[in-house]
Structure 1
Amino acid sequence: MITITARVARSSWMYGGIAYSLTLTHVGALQQMLCISATAMGLAACVPAIDPGDAIDTALGLEWPSEVGVGEFVFGNRQPSPSDPVTLL
């Protein structure tokens, strides 16, 4: 699992009220690229839709509001399906 955090105060002085929205836009682009890369490598990829409360922020010791968790990404081994071609090693 990869957890993405951000220091929103660093960007809010420049971008004002759209800093958090801009951060989430960049996180979405990063998650999409991670999904594409994992699929190309034959890995299973998943972007969890909901953070389970503040469990990850607490586990990482993030201090709200200076640093917040803004996204997660999970990847692992993919189970071969019967339709996958057999590869000989």
Structure 2
Amino acid sequence: MSKVGQAIDKNDLSTAGSVLGGSTDTDWVQKANIAFTKLSSSPDEKTQVDNFNSSLASLISSVTGNDIESSKTAFVSSADAFEKWTTLTGLVGQLKGL
């Protein structure tokens, strides 16, 4: 996600898109969701996973549609949900920098 954020910050949606992939069916998203499922036990954690996935879908759509402002908004929402999830699961220290 940090590479995507850096690319979006530079208005480089081509790079952001190549890192993200074209859909939520990409290998890295599926692997992330497997990890989310294994590591999430509380309803709050699961809510943040849902929020992340929803924001990620919006981010991919915005990047694919070449909409920089929507991409920035969706990226912040995705990062916020991920940060909240890492805090709730106690993994915030281990996952810094992703």
TM-score by structure 1 length? 0.35
Q: Higher Cα Rg: structure 1 or 2?
A: 1
Higher helix share: 2
Query: Taking CA–CA contacts closer than 8 Å with sequence separation of 6 or more, which of the two structures ends up with the larger relative contact order?
Result: 1
